[in-house]
Structure 1
Amino acid sequence: MKQTSTFLLLTLAALLAGRPAHAQASGPEARLPTAAEALRQEYATASVNYPYLYNGPEYADYTRKYHIRTGHQFYLLPDVLPGAANYNDREFANVRLQYDIVLDQVIISQPGNPLTLRFIDDKVRTFSIDGHQFVRLVADSTSADIIRTGYYELLADGPVQVLAKRTKTMYEHLNKPYVDVSFTETNRLYMQKAGRYYAVGSKGKALRLLADHSQEMQQYLKEHHLRFGKDDRENSLVELTRYYNGLAK
């Protein structure tokens, strides 16, 4: 928050705090204490939350140096999107986020300030952006060969989870005397069951993980015509897992 705005808020709150209250007041003066209280509450909320929310290092757009950019480094859109986050052990709603899936960094924009910051990764538990929920997973000795520490989109939750790792790879192209850049997106699917993670790239692998309800799974696949080709795999895996979770409950 800018120093000028902070000074004005404090000054106004101090002046209004000293006004005598009249129970029978009417007209504009009767609304002043209410307005002052709203300002004080807004300032108090900002004062409490800002140090916990806007405290990461600056994020600089590293793609600006390129002559021609084909695509971008962000998830969904290059624009700032509505979101929420569990950050610094606090819940923040109605924040403005971007998610750089080349660097695996969450970017936050401050209202009225062109400066963009990135979250400190180990202080993030979850975040959502434009309705998509992400969790931060930390690889350990039992999972390091399957997942790496970072952010994963949570597609299905329950006894079995389905997660997706969204990534982009950046390619430089020499176009003398300039250098251009392009981006290629890759999505990898994982399932978590009983605390263990599994990479899932086929229908067979998914069915083996859900084998304790094998008959029901096979029947559901046939009745709902679920396909596991490249274009259908994610949606089919999510639908099948949600059905399994319903049975498991």
Structure 2
Amino acid sequence: MSFKKLRRFVLFLVWINGLLLLSRDVNAQAYSTDSQLLKRSVDSNIHFYLASMGTTSHLYNGNEYIYTNHGIQGTPFFGSNQPIIGKICYDGTVYLDVALSYDLSADEVFINNPGQDFSLRLITSKIRYFTILNHTFILFENDGTTKGDVPGYGFYDLLHAGKLTVLAKRMKRVTEAFKTEDAPHYQQYDSYILRKNNTFYNIDSKRQLLDLFDDKKEIMKKFYKKNGFNFKKDREMVLVKMAEYYSQLNE
């Protein structure tokens, strides 16, 4: 079955399921149950659709990835040296249960080529976002409308989205050994960028963080002190917790 025919078939199944459920004269409890049944049916059809696409999918059209950094200790990848099952939005389509590898040293994403013994390098500009290990990485492209410390092109870990958005840029670099008998190794570096009112900020201190809350600074200072936060030791956690609380205050 061709890609287009298979897609139409799945959409037809979903449409039929919807008609069957909407045609029932049911009470609120039954409606809730039927909604769950519809969701499971839709999810099942989507999984069937994605699994049936195989290598004909637009997802499997990148260049072969060849790993060349042998002899370097550690891994350039996020989370694991092995592919991680995740989700990716690629070229306008969301793909589930895909074996992904995110190379932090190159800021590139790779996938296993089904039935083959090599990986494919995906085209970065076609990736809107991908999720692995409960981390969602989004592709940032400067459209010219943002201000401040605008981040560069690439993938950013979306830690919190709200009135104050928190992004993390995760990178790995090869660090040379101090002793000749030691091998070079990968070292991870994380930096954080906050976005408020369409302006980006690089935050390097507690003072810079609190200055962002000019409208609710005293409340945020009390929240910081009450929870015993330590910006230097737990920067990522502090940024996320403060952003979450600030977003709640502005709901």
- Give the superposition deviation at 1:126: 0.6
Residue 170 of structure 1 is matched in structure 2 by 174
- The percent identity for this pair of structures is 30
Residue 124 of structure 1 is matched in structure 2 by 127
- Give the superposition deviation at 1:244: 0.3
State the Cα deviation string for residues 175-214 of structure 1 (Å, max 9, x = none). 99x9953211110011011122111111111111122111
Distance 1:88 1:49, change over 3 A: farther
Q: Superposition RMSD on alpha carbons, in Å?
A: 2.8
- Give the superposition deviation at 1:69: 2.2
Residue 238 of structure 1 is matched in structure 2 by 240
Give runs of aligned pairs for residues 121-160 of structure 1, distance below 5 A.
121-141=124-144, 142=146, 146-160=150-164
- Residue pair 2:149, 2:200 contacting (<8 A) in 1 also: no
The one of 61, 70, 79 aligned to 1:76: 79
Residue 24 of structure 1 is matched in structure 2 by none
Residue 25 of structure 1 is matched in structure 2 by none
Residue 46 of structure 1 is matched in structure 2 by 52
- Give the superposition deviation at 1:46: 3.1
Residue 165 of structure 2 is matched in structure 1 by 161
SS of residue matched to 2:215: helix
Distance 1:207 1:49, change over 3 A: farther
Distance in 1, matches of 2:50 and 2:236, equals: 44
Distance 1:228 1:148, change over 3 A: same
Distance 1:217 1:144, change over 3 A: closer
Structure 2 gaps, min length 5: 1-46
The TM-score, its normalising length taken from structure 1, stands at: 0.74
Give runs of aligned pairs for residues 218-229 of structure 1, distance below 5 A.
218-229=221-232
Mapped pair 1:203 → 2:214? no
- Give the superposition deviation at 1:47: 3.5
Distance 1:49 1:115, change over 3 A: closer
SS of residue matched to 2:75: coil
SS of residue matched to 1:58: strand
Residue 22 of structure 1 is matched in structure 2 by none
Mapped pair 1:182 → 2:185? yes
- Give the superposition deviation at 1:49: 7.4
Distance in 1, matches of 2:127 and 2:178, equals: 37
Distance in 1, matches of 2:250 and 2:195, equals: 14
Amino acid at match of 1:248: N
Q: How many residues align?
A: 205
The TM-score, its normalising length taken from structure 2, stands at: 0.73
State the Cα deviation string for residues 151-190 of structure 1 (Å, max 9, x = none). 00000111210010000112456999x9953211110011
Give runs of aligned pairs for residues 9-24 of structure 1, distance below 5 A.
none
Residue 214 of structure 1 is matched in structure 2 by 217
Distance in 1, matches of 2:176 and 2:189, equals: 17
The structure that has the greater radius of gyration is 1
State the Cα deviation string for residues 40-79 of structure 1 (Å, max 9, x = none). x958863387431111111111213xxx321111112111
Displaced runs of 4+ in structure 1, greater than 2 A?
Answer: 41-51, 110-113, 139-146, 171-176, 178-181
Distance in 1, matches of 2:182 and 2:228, equals: 47
Distance 1:55 1:143, change over 3 A: farther
Residue 6 of structure 2 is matched in structure 1 by none
